[in-house]
Structure 1
Amino acid sequence: MTFDTDLVHHFAKSVAHTTFDQLSESAREAAKKSMLDTLGVILAASGMEPAVRGIIEIVEEAGGTKEATKIGFGGQAPAIMAALANGALAHCLDYDDQTPWGQHCSSSIVPAVMAVAERRGGITGKEMITAVAVGQDIFARLRTNVGWLKDWNLSTVLAVFGATAAAARAYGLDEKQIGHALGIASMQSSGIMEMIAGRGSDLRGMYAGFSSKGAVLATLMASKGTTGIDKMFEGQYGFFNSYFGGRYDRDKILADLGSNFLGEGTLYKRWPCVGTAHSHMKAAIDIITENNVALSDIETIKLHVGDYHDLMCQPMAERCAPATLADAKFSLPFLVATAIVRNGMSVSDFTAAGLKDTAVLNVAAKMELVNDPKLNWTLELPPGRVEITLKDGRSWLAVGTHVPGNADAPMDWDQVIAKFTECASVSAEPISTDRISTAAKLAQHLEEATDATQLIKLLG
């Protein structure tokens, strides 16, 4: 089936003409929270994840025009390279926000928007909020309406389009240029699931840097007159046919485009690890706390898993005792064990010493798997179930609900600010409490700012 007007042009029109006043209040609030939350996670990663140092060194070695801030490390770099650095930091703790259906886009969108905003030389708070909101909306429309076979990493394959839409809007491109930018961005749409499910690679934590960089590159190329692809999404050899075998729902993608902004459902994590583990962690915590269980009394911990949960458990021995920080954040047995021992989780739990914590490793060694196809991931991932049996025979089964930060227990502004403050406190470059507090207040009331880049400069 072919259409006279490809989705790329529908998206470009909506992105170019959406105004701040058209956004729902919840979409505005989500965009503002995402900016502050993403900045906080970037700062925490600068101090807590050694693997990012290589990218920072490459950015610094490349030199170039000082256009945009390298958050957490100070100094400036060309906008494209700042987006690479900040994007790589934004996801590497797996603490960035997510959609209700999983996957991440703000870690690609926010660094791209902030890089082009600084290059442009300033942007109002309302314009920056609008840019982030339309990017989140484009991502969500694609995420929920493609036939995903868990073969591509949707957080990069799709987020480059959300980030490009947002960056192009923030840079002031017109409708035609935005369409070109989205076409150019198709050259940067990539990411295989082996990067996620495999072990030993730092790329799983850094992937948002590539889509953020690609978004800025696409935006700048379009601004210089480079043309895109007229039937980029729906052509015979276009995106949907190439990546998803033609499996997508056009009507749902277009439904209420420009009036209903799906980013308003964005969720903010309270635990710094893969979100698909959080329900199992919460179920285990509930059993331990409600029944006053001592760790030494535990005989077995059964994790009920669907297809995607199982990815986080194979091979079991390595997932129980992960070798790297990146692997630890995607290892379900280790994460549940950490949650049990710590009664939660914080950024300080993921250190070289934390990977060797004998209390956590001893609990992880008691894990067993129960495969349940009813927990397979289609659109929304079903909540995990955990069964804990004690040496005296007592046993409890719990389903992980009311996970901190999930839709049934969302984080309000006070909680987002508390998380930001915690993250900023471990930045590689120390930031004063006054600057942290000022940044939080500015983000919460960003629509009042005449130059939203002040938010970045406070933290650079």
Structure 2
Amino acid sequence: MANPTPDVFDALLEHLLETQYAQLPEETIQRVNQRLLDSVGVGVAGHRADDAAGLIEVAKAWGSGEEATVLGTGIKLPATSAAFVNGALIRSFDFEPVEAEGPAGKQVAAHISGTTVAVVLALAETTGASGEETLAALALGDDLAARLAIAGGFDVYSGQDNTGTLNTLAAAFIASRMLGLTKAQARHATGIAVNQAAGNVAAIFDGANGFKLPMAFAARSGIAAAQLAKAGLESAADPLTGKHGYFQLFGIDAQPELAVQGLGESFHGDCTIKPYASCRAAQPSLQACAELVADGSVDYTDIECLTVHLSERTLNGFVGARFAAGDTRTVAALFSVHATAAIALIHGTVRPEHLTASALADPELAQMLGRIELVASLPNSQRLTAEITARLRNGEIRHVRVEHPDGNILRTPLEHDQVVEKFSKNLEFSHPELAARKDALLHQLEHLSSARDVSELIATLDPSKNFTPNYQEQLS
């Protein structure tokens, strides 16, 4: 970046700190509510990840505090630690909202919500923020993050993991607003966040459960950045567009001016609610497999062999490796076209319950894996397209093509009932006690704008509490 453009940064900060809830379009609030609902559900499901208990114990050892709660528990921690744990829980099954959409109709790979929801809930509880302010902070943090994602550019195969770079700034933006920072302090918070931004996708290639940590570290670091700035710590004058700033360090053909295009007129964020628990790059192929068996005319046992057609870039990326029969690592399956295709053929979908160690040890899965081949036969421009060709034991050939998988609100949106069903199943999978409170939780999440604060929501999410919500008492 030859010439810094502080006017971009100034405009973004003014938008963040001065925009009020009443100025947000109804459509924006609806989308924010949906992302919040979805993230809370997958966060609760994250307790079934093998490493969840260990993560919580580590966070507890960092220090005690009563500021914020770990989702799905009554455990209280400092806000930074609670946001860290909740970010990791939300990321655990790669089931959270994804794909940032932004100015000029552009979209880019991103997982913003897993960090921003963790941060906004922790700080809403800490500060006693109203439901309206909680939603406004989330809407504006998501908007700025999506704008930076589009303006900065991102290549999912570059080796960077923007859940640890972009998301750290997103967390700092929300924390700056919710902790009452001035514009000058918010500028420093952003710079401190840039100094903590980091992340790569190496763990994903190796199927390591540490893949979730960049999202969690981003939540913790962003809050800490705002706390430090409020305490008087300073940063570079322009940590976004200046020398060695965010765009220079992490951007790919960055266009900073895109970040302010339509600012205050359109509001952006993650635009996909995932119907399946897997990397988005694996969803076209697994959806094709699910469609093959959906009407019951083909059973997975009828399939003699099946070929999945992908782009060369997808096949050579982190979802293209073959999944070894007997491998029971959840992360290795999440990021595998091979594994998720086999699971979809057997179960008609891919959900967290199909990705536990015991589920992955199913001998039927091992047999199905042996009948699937992956080939690079589609152009690289078809990143989210897949085809399958199945030869049945009776000699019949079946072909299914998915141009774009379900879930993108701008192209292939899920119905509201499907989003609610996903939420309900995630509660049931992890905390049956909370599944019995589904209606109360749905009411609280969908009417958060009318709540005095988030205390009743947090209490309802604690399965140890006998709690019958009084809807009228929650409304201001």
TM-score of the superposed pair, with normalisation by structure 2: 0.88
CA drift of 1:25 comes to 1.6
Structure 2 CA distance for partners of 1:166 and 1:308, relative to 1, 3 Å: farther
Q: What is the alpha-carbon distance in structure 1 between the residues aligned to residue 314 and residue 455 of structure 2? A: 39
Instruction: Describe the superposition over 1:163-195 as per-residue Cα deviations: whole angstroms up to 9, x where unpaired.
Output: 221222222323222222111111221111212
1:400 maps to 402
Deviation at 1:415, TM superposition (A): 2.9
Q: How do 1:1-150 and structure 2 match up within 5 A?
A: 1-5=2-6, 7-46=8-47, 48-99=48-99, 101-120=108-127, 122-149=128-155, 150=158
Q: 1:296-352 CA distances to partner (integer Å, 9 max, x unpaired)?
A: 33232212222135324554253x654411111111111011011101123221221
In the alignment, what sits opposite 1:353? Answer: 358
1:449 to 1:252, Cα distance in 2 relative to 1, 3 A? same
SS of the equivalent of 1:73 reads coil
**Partner SS state of residue 144, structure 1:** helix
The separation in 2 between residues aligned to 1:144 and 1:373, in whole angstroms, is: 26
Mean Cα displacement is larger for which, 55-64 or 441-450?
55-64
* Contact 1:123 1:453 survives alignment (8 Å): no
**1:422 equivalent in alignment to 2:425:** yes
Per-residue displacement from partner, 1:19-53 (whole Å, max 9, x unpaired)?
2122222211111122222111111111x112122
Aligned CA distance change for structure 1 residues 321 and 368 (closer, same or farther; 3 Å): farther
Q: How far apart are residue 75 of structure 1 and its match?
A: 1.9
State how far apart, in whole Å, the 2-side matches of 1:61 and 1:290 are: 51
Q: Is the 8 A contact 1:42 1:89 kept in 2?
A: yes
Using the alignment, how far apart are the partners of 1:386 and 1:426 within structure 2? 30
Tell me how far apart the structure 2 counterparts of residues 17 and 309 of structure 1 sit (CA, whole Å).
46
Alignment of 1:165-314 (within 5 A): 165-199=173-207, 201-244=208-251, 247-263=253-269, 266-289=271-294, 292-306=297-311, 307-314=313-320
- 1:335–1:321: structure 2 CA closer, same or farther, 3 Å change rule? farther
Q: Distance in 1 between matches of 2:225 and 2:211?
A: 23
Count of aligned positions = 450
TM-superposed CA distance for 1:376, in Å, is 4.7
Structure 2 CA distance for partners of 1:133 and 1:25, relative to 1, 3 Å: same
Corresponding position: 1:157 with 2:165: yes
Summarize the Cα distance change of 1:373–1:294 in structure 2 as closer, same or farther, 3 Å threshold: closer
Change (3 A) 1:36 1:315: closer
Runs (5+) with no aligned partner, structure 1: none
TM superposition shift of 1:3: 3.2
Would you say the 8 A contact 2:99–2:109 is kept in 1? yes
Which amino acid counterpart does residue 27 of structure 1 have in structure 2? T
| Structure 1 residues 415 and 317, CA gap change in structure 2 (3 angstroms) | closer
404-413 vs 362-371, greater mean Cα deviation:
404-413
Distance 2:454 2:342 in 1: 41
Q: CA, structure 1 residues 309+206, in 2 after alignment: closer, same or farther (shift >3 Å)? A: farther
Deviations 1:122-153 (A, max 9, x none): 11111111111111112221222334342211
Aligned positions of 1:318-333 closer than 5 A: 318=324, 322-333=327-338
Deviations 1:59-112 (A, max 9, x none): 222332211111223220111111111111111111111126432111100111
**TM-score, scaled to structure 1:** 0.91
Q: CA RMSD in A?
A: 2.3
Instruction: Work out which structure has the larger RCO, using CA pairs closer than 8 Å and 6 or more positions apart in sequence.
Output: 1
5+ residue gaps, structure 2: 101-107, 463-476
Deviations 1:358-417 (A, max 9, x none): 22221121222221462357xxx3322222223444323322257442334423443333
- In structure 1, the partner of 2:341 is 336
Do the aligned partners of residues 432 and 337 (structure 1) sit closer, same or farther apart at CA in structure 2, a change above 3 Å counting? closer
Structure 2 Cα separation of the partners of residues 244 and 103 of structure 1: 14
Identity %: 25
Aligned-partner Cα distance in 2 for 1:404–1:371: 22
